Structure 1
Amino acid sequence: RAAAAALPRGPHRDTDGVTHLIPRTLLPRPYGRFRVARELTRHGIRPAFDAVLIDQPLLWDDSVRGLSPRLVYRPTDLYPAGVKADLQRRVVAAADGMLATSTEVLRGLGPLTIPGLVLENGVDAARFAGSAAARPAVCVYVGALDKRFDWAQLDAWARAHADVRFVVAGPAAAPAVALPGNVELLGAVPYDRLPALLQSARVGLLPLSDDPLNAGRSPMKRYEYLAAGLAVVSRETPGIRSEESAGLFAYDDPDAAARALERALAFTSPNTAGVARAAAESWEAKTDALWAFVRGLAG
């Protein structure tokens, strides 16, 4: 109840000029009689737009199609089954274009007869820029600690490098294994504190588990790590491959994971090549590409 009470009621405009509306429903989406167009009208927002982007299948109802002559579906994850998969099929059938965050997510939609574009998540590069001072032997992970996180791999790295500190920041979760003393669990960290946390480390970790959903992920942390001057070690996925010249080392088995961390720890610090690589993935560049794609759709 406290969390619900903290949510703004009605439309509110933020400092960037974006109007937000958080609907309140009696039943979870997609159940109940909630309709997007009706909710907008109820709050005095004319339900007619130049373009509509929808990135969550649970927000779909038939009224969304009538909001704009250009409807773009932007899937950010794989939905192999369940309610989200059913709703996704309805969105795809109604949309004018697809804007996926990875090639695997786009492939998961099946054969398409409408334009599609892969546009990976980007980074606020300037926010994460740090000093030119060399970093200590610290490895950091920031993000969710759910089934997509490989606790066993973190444990193996930490036990093999007793002289290295491993810092994990994310919502409280019980580790799947008993971790050694050089692993520090910080819990959730406010976004404003992330740049300083990343700049205190030498290597950024993405120990993705073998959960099938990881195949379609486009982790923003990859570029945030690079923008902060870290070398990066990540499990290899269809969307994440080694870019050793930029200090990104991917692995596909435990032995390769051990070698990848060794190379990342030995990489130039701070990782200036990675900073340059991240700059090319700025949100400004992503926005330009997104808007060019949307404008090119028939409307």
Structure 2
Amino acid sequence: MTGARVLFLSHTHLFGAFRVGSHHYARELARLGAEVVHLSTPISVAHRITGRVPKTVVDSVPRHPFRDDDGVTHIVPRTVLPRPWGAFRVARALTRAGIEARFDAVLIDQPLLWDDTVRGLSDTLVYRPTDLYPDGLKRALQERILASADAVVATSGAVLRDLGHLTLPSLVIENGVDLDAFTDATTDAETRPTVCVYVGALDARFDWQQVRTWATAHPDIRFTVAGPHAAPHTALPDNVELIGPVPYADLPRLLHGARVGLLPLSDDPSNEGRSPMKLYEYLAAGLAVVSRATPGIRADTEAGIHTYDSPETADAALTSALRRPSPNLAGRRAAENHTWAAKAGELATFLAGLAD
């Protein structure tokens, strides 16, 4: 990738509580020698007035292009109206930021960032869907992207299948892990308290009732839930701790203080296509994992991944995970096969093939 110019059009900026795949790919491609620009969904005046984007978050986001320590340039535009409404155009935003609006490859994962200037930014346009869009505006914009794209790189088989029959080159690369950030050299089982932890979004995809059921059945175990805008749909026992958003840099320390990582996915249809980044982050940090089974998450008891298909089998999955030696060294070894560096190498090879 040395000398290549790559643009990511992403749904999430770097300056909040979450790290997403485009952040990791941008870092790894920059380390491979590419010049990388990461432009994310604009923050609008409407977002600020309605409080959808809290003032503390707005204040933390640079108003001008920000070049991070890995050499990636991040742009978070400011607009009056939310996307896709208003006069915002990606090419214009890049020019205003002083960045040449021509790239060797453009990868877009945010349908709302599609506009009529995106196709002209590169001869290689890749759609990188990360979620299921069964209907609505994002589905319509996704169709427009597919009509113009040169290739697709999906985060799961379910997401790729949802796109229907494709004649474009396509690839599935599931989310990975920054292994060096999460691996803990400690191997003493006595250092891990009996804590179960969840880190991530707390929206309709999260099953509050399942957490309540687990905590009620195991009053001697502490359940820590980390994520922004926590709004439980049910009363929670005293052994459930809601700690709010945790900065990415602090996640390893939080995970190293637990035995089990939780993925209590609800029955929301969008969970069928998810490739949760926390799966391999939990494993790399030495945790056993308990998750609702999905097409992308299957039981692997050797690696310490325990799944359930219904509320009736969820407690057995948790009990099995709690019985595992801690830290979960087999899980760490499994995570070694899913590093972002390896996945970025696969992506770079795919992009090079498209350019030939």
Fold in common (TM above 0.5): yes
State how far apart, in whole Å, the 2-side matches of 1:114 and 1:53 are: 15
1:292 counterpart letter in structure 2: T
State how far apart, in whole Å, the 2-side matches of 1:125 and 1:22 are: 27
Offset at 1:41?
A: 2.2
Alignment-derived partner of residue 252 in structure 2 = 195
Q: Does 1:133 find its partner at 2:188?
A: yes
How much is the aligned-residue C-alpha RMSD, in angstroms? Answer: 1.4
Alignment-derived partner of residue 75 in structure 2 = 21
Alignment-derived partner of residue 35 in structure 1 = 89
Alignment-derived partner of residue 180 in structure 1 = 237
1:177 counterpart letter in structure 2: T
Q: Does 1:157 find its partner at 2:223?
A: no
Q: Does 1:110 find its partner at 2:164?
A: yes
Q: Does 1:267 find its partner at 2:324?
A: yes
TM (norm. structure 1) is: 0.96
Alignment-derived partner of residue 114 in structure 2 = 60
State how far apart, in whole Å, the 2-side matches of 1:253 and 1:5 are: 42
1:139 counterpart letter in structure 2: C
- Over the matched positions of the two proteins, sequence identity in percent amounts to 64
**Which segment drifts farther, 152-161 or 224-233?**
152-161
Offset at 1:43?
A: 2.9
Offset at 1:6?
A: 4.2
State how far apart, in whole Å, the 2-side matches of 1:29 and 1:284 are: 32
State how far apart, in whole Å, the 2-side matches of 1:166 and 1:175 are: 14
Give the 3-state SS of the residue equivalent to 2:254 in structure 1.
Answer: helix
State how far apart, in whole Å, the 1-side matches of 2:322 and 2:198 are: 14
**Which segment drifts farther, 234-243 or 136-145?**
136-145
Offset at 1:7?
A: 2.9
Offset at 1:258?
A: 1.2
Distance 1:236 1:42, change over 3 A: same
Alignment-derived partner of residue 122 in structure 1 = 176
State how far apart, in whole Å, the 2-side matches of 1:187 and 1:13 are: 28
Alignment-derived partner of residue 142 in structure 1 = 199
Offset at 1:282?
A: 0.6
Offset at 1:203?
A: 0.5
State how far apart, in whole Å, the 1-side matches of 2:228 and 2:60 are: 19
Any idea what the Cα deviations from partners look like across 1:59-79, whole Å, max 9, x if unmatched? 111211111111000011111
Any idea what the Cα deviations from partners look like across 1:168-189, whole Å, max 9, x if unmatched? 1111322111111211111222
Offset at 1:298?
A: 4.3
The count of corresponding residues between Structure 1 and Structure 2 is 299
State how far apart, in whole Å, the 2-side matches of 1:123 and 1:54 are: 21
Give the 3-state SS of the residue equivalent to 2:295 in structure 1.
Answer: coil
**Which segment drifts farther, 38-47 or 58-67?**
38-47
State how far apart, in whole Å, the 2-side matches of 1:40 and 1:193 are: 32
Give the 3-state SS of the residue equivalent to 1:234 in structure 2.
Answer: strand
Give the 3-state SS of the residue equivalent to 1:65 in structure 2.
Answer: helix
Distance 1:185 1:290, change over 3 A: same
State how far apart, in whole Å, the 1-side matches of 2:195 and 2:339 are: 26
Distance 1:85 1:282, change over 3 A: same
2:187 counterpart letter in structure 1: A
**Which segment drifts farther, 233-242 or 255-264?**
255-264
1:175 counterpart letter in structure 2: P
Offset at 1:5?
A: 4.8
2:64 counterpart letter in structure 1: G
CA contact (8 A) 2:230 2:242 kept: no
For structure 1, which runs of at least 5 residues remain unmatched after alignment?
Answer: none
1:239 counterpart letter in structure 2: G
- Which of 123, 132, 138 matches 1:84? 138
Give the 3-state SS of the residue equivalent to 1:233 in structure 2.
Answer: strand
Distance 1:12 1:136, change over 3 A: closer
Q: Which runs of 4+ in 1 moved over 6 A?
A: none
